[in-house]
């Protein structure tokens, strides 16, 4: 695994150097701040998706979850006038509940993660659009949330708080995945769920916990994205964001077969993906090709994973 992470780090350095040589604006202060902000925003989602992928699952619903939780957040904060700490807790808790529901449906009813989360993608997006009558929600003239706005979209010593928070969460997730009993159980379930169950591991609870963690991080991400966009259009907000997270996790070494992946790898995967996105912009390539970049990244990641699996079997 260390070789994968070192390879990713070298690839980031090479890509960044090439981009800077092509366009020196890449290493400008403004661009680096924007880049680190993007890394922080999508990094939280990638960490949550990474945990789910390690269990051998997938979550396609987080983008739509951002839209639904986003309109709820704005409604409670602006229209109902609730204090921001209360609204923040409600949204994060709601994300964790939605993730837990996914885990229960997958583990208790033996449904496929792809099917469950695809249904979630459609359901959450539909509810968000119905909830707002397909209208865009914004802050309007409401106030009283300046502290939260500074915490989520401000900077300290020119470093975006989104990036700082992402690093702090990555540290916590690193301890959880690599140093805790739950982390060992998550890897065991991803490697072989049946063998883990026979070993006495509560596999169903572990799966629910993994999806709950993903939902919790999606709930936190909701608040960051709302203040980043300053409004939520339920038909478009969060579209394809789950693909950014999946691409970053796969690029970071998380095997879609389950049982493999590391937090450091996910962090490096997020950085590399955003550097590649930045390279596309710097070269003046149409932004519509961003999805092609993501698709290529996921495809390359799957191909590399397959080749590594073959090599390990040959040994």
2-314 CATH = 1.10.3470
Give the burial class of 191: count Cβ atoms within 10 A of its Cβ; 0-12 exposed, 13-18 middle, 19 or more buried. middle
Average pLDDT (228-247) is: 89
Query: DSSP letter at 82?
Result: -
CA distances to 9, 25, 57, 95 from 190, rounded to whole Å, are 25, 42, 8, 23
Q: Which of 27-31, 44-48, 306-310 has the lowest mean pLDDT?
A: 306-310
**pLDDT, tens digit, 9 for 90 and up, residues 66-123:** 999 999 999 999 888 888 899 999 999 999 999 999 999 999 999 999 999 999 999 9
Would you say residue 1 has pLDDT above 90? no
Task: Please enumerate in sequence order all residues whose Cβ is within 8 A of that of 67, keeping only pairs 6 or more positions apart, or say none.
Answer: 124, 125, 128, 232, 234, 237, 238
**pLDDT, tens digit, 9 for 90 and up, residues 155-166:** 998 899 999 999
Query: DSSP letter at 75?
Result: I
Would you say residue 47 has pLDDT above 90? yes
CB atoms within 10 A of CB 230: 10
Predicted local confidence at residue 305, as pLDDT: 65
Q: Map out the domains of the chain as residue ranges.
A: 2-314
312 pLDDT tier (thresholds 50, 70, 90): low
Predicted local confidence at residue 173, as pLDDT: 95
Predicted local confidence at residue 2, as pLDDT: 66
Average pLDDT, the chain: 88
Predicted local confidence at residue 256, as pLDDT: 84
Average pLDDT (266-295) is: 80
Predicted local confidence at residue 179, as pLDDT: 92
Would you say residue 142 has pLDDT above 70? no
Average pLDDT (22-50) is: 91
What count of Cα atoms within 13 Å lies in the side-chain half-sphere of residue 245? 30
Predicted local confidence at residue 41, as pLDDT: 92
Predicted local confidence at residue 180, as pLDDT: 93
């Amino acid at each position: 695994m260390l070789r994968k992470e070192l390879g990713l780090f070298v690839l980031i350095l090479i890509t960044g150097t090439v981009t800077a040589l092509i366009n020196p604006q890449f290493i400008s202060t403004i661009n680096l701040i924007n880049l680190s902000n993007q890394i922080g925003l999508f990094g939280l989602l990638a960490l949550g998706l990474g945990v789910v992928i390690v269990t051998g699952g997938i979550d396609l619903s987080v983008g739509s979850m951002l839209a639904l939780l986003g309109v709820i957040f704005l409604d409670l904060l602006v229209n109902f006038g609730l204090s921001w700490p209360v609204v923040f807790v409600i949204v994060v808790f709601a994300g964790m509940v939605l993730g837990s529901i996914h885990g229960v449906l997958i583990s208790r009813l033996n449904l496929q993660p792809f099917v469950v989360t695809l249904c979630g993608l459609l359901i959450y997006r539909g509810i968000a659009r119905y909830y707002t009558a397909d209208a865009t929600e914004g802050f309007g003239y409401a106030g009283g949330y300046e502290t939260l706005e500074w915490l989520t979209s401000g900077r300290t010593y020119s470093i975006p708080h989104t990036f700082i928070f992402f690093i702090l969460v990555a540290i916590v997730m690193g301890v959880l995945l690599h140093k805790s009993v739950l982390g060992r159980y998550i890897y065991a379930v991803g490697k072989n769920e049946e063998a883990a169950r026979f070993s006495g591991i509560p596999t169903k609870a572990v799966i629910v916990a993994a999806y709950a963690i993903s939902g919790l991080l999606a709930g936190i991400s909701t608040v960051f994205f709302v203040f980043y966009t300053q409004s939520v259009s339920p038909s478009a907000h969060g579209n394809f964001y789950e693909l950014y997270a999946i691409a970053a996790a796969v690029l970071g070494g998380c095997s879609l077969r389950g049982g493999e992946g590391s937090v450091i790898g996910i962090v490096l995967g997020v950085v590399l993906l955003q550097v590649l996105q930045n390279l596309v912009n710097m070269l003046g390539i149409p932004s519509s090709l961003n999805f092609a970049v993501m698709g290529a990244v996921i495809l390359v990641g799957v191909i590399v994973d397959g080749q590594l699996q073959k090599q390990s079997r040959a040994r």
